[in-house]
Structure 1
Amino acid sequence: MPEDEAHHALKVLRKKIGDKITVVDGKGGEYESIFENVNVLNCKLKIINRKNNIGGFLKHSIHIGISPPKSHDRLEWFIEKSVELGIQEISFILTENSERKNVKLNRILKRTISSMKQSLKALIPKINDIIPVKEFMENCINNEKFIAYLGEEERNHLIKLAPAQGDYCILIGPEGDFSASEIKKSQKFGFQQVTLGANRLRTETAAVAACHILNLVNEK
């Protein structure tokens, strides 16, 4: 067991030799284990039962490309809530109106792992470093591609366009939204313009709302 995890188990949870604990590997495996050694620097577990598909594997997949908000606290809030909602992949995109040009991947990964454990998931979402939005569009391989846009032209609601059991990707722009040229490029690469509703949402709120909507589509 990693030292930081061992410290929490032994010093906070007060686990002793023979006590049971459930651990996950981040790849979909969940393991019921017992403590064999309770030294923080050399904590060892014995696996007594292995379970697969625990913590919310879904029949659909969600990949969000998001222009990270300026506030790191708000970014971490998005990470926490999207993991709770079962997201599989998060990519950070650089747009013309982006407020943040880089992200701290190590810090984000730690928050992702923490959220995975707290929400009893067994799968760590894939986290991708920030890239230009055009490059993201070119390389997106998801079957169902959407872009949330605040433009005045008529758009369908995401819940109407998204089919059940889809392999989804949705782009969420910055506070200043996507530019007209970015919207034009998205159409070239097969992204459908959608609305998430009548309310004007912050970037991170819109991303979480999109996750929830796509989950609702699959509960019909």
Structure 2
Amino acid sequence: MRKKTGDEIIVVDGNGGLYEALFENENARNCNLKIINSKKNIGRPNHNIHIGISPPKSHDRLEWFIEKSVEIGIQEISFILTENSERKNIKLNRILKRAISSMKQSLKTYLPKINDMVSAKDFIVNCSNNEKFIAYLSEDENQHLLKSASAQNDYCILIGPEGDFSSSEIKRSEKFGFLPVSLGENRLRTETAGVAACHILNLVNEK
């Protein structure tokens, strides 16, 4: 629906700011807004969620993950290149545009930090989050993420490709403090697993 002069609109800046503004013209090419009320640090979470994920082959599915994770609430996304990754590069600018669009539509006031592709090896070594997890298919009964994570903390969780993490990647992650976890009994696609992990970690902080 097209806005007219004098109509009110809600604007977010991606850095915790939420603004009520008025349209001051109806120019088809651009518009001027008059801010009538502003609030800072709105919606700042009491936790930090960082997902390191091997991007799926389909860019549409990748964008779906971005869209839904931003809607649910996420603070940082890193793309990791694993031994079994199907996608070797990403279109970072396109992904950022999708994240901004999702932030606006869901009225999230914070835009997550989105990092370019890095090798899983380097990511595992350099990850400095307090609670670190890795989700993968295992014959062992790994504890569910919901029970493994503690509230109001700084998390990082690794999500692998369709072919899963290699045994060497799993061993390396455990060496550097990543705890193996389960996301449930169902076998999930990469992007679905990423959204599920994001949702679970947010649920931990709603207890």
Category of TM-score, reference length = shorter chain = over 0.9
> After the TM superposition, which residues 85-100 of structure 1 pair with which residues of structure 2 at under 5 Å, given as runs?
85-100=72-87
| Count of residue correspondences | 207
For 1:200, which of 174, 187, 195 is the aligned residue? 187
SS in 2 for 1:156: coil
The alignment status of 1:31 with 2:19, answered yes or no, reads: yes
> After the TM superposition, which residues 1-220 of structure 1 pair with which residues of structure 2 at under 5 Å, given as runs?
13-54=1-42, 56-220=43-207
Deviations 1:8-56 (A, max 9, x none): xxxxx322222211111111101111122332444211111001233x4
SS in 1 for 2:34: strand
Query: Which one-letter code corresponds to 1:33 in the other structure?
Result: A
Shift, 1:118, TM fit: 1.1
Highest RCO, 1 vs 2 (Cα 8 Å, sep ≥ 6): 2
Pick which of 116-125 and 95-104 moved more.
Answer: 116-125
Shift, 1:90, TM fit: 0.5
Aligned-residue identity in percent: 77
Shift, 1:153, TM fit: 2.5
Q: 2 CA distance for matches of 1:92 and 1:213?
A: 20
Cα RMSD after superposing both structures: 1.2
Query: Which one-letter code corresponds to 1:181 in the other structure?
Result: S
Q: 2 CA distance for matches of 1:73 and 1:31?
A: 31
SS in 2 for 1:131: strand
Structure-1-length-normalised TM-score: 0.90
CA separation of 1:197 and 1:43: change in aligned 2, threshold 3 A = same
Q: 2 CA distance for matches of 1:72 and 1:17?
A: 38
Pick which of 133-142 and 172-181 moved more.
Answer: 133-142
Query: Which one-letter code corresponds to 1:124 in the other structure?
Result: L
SS in 1 for 2:24: strand
Q: 2 CA distance for matches of 1:212 and 1:156?
A: 17
Query: Which one-letter code corresponds to 1:206 in the other structure?
Result: A
SS in 2 for 1:18: coil
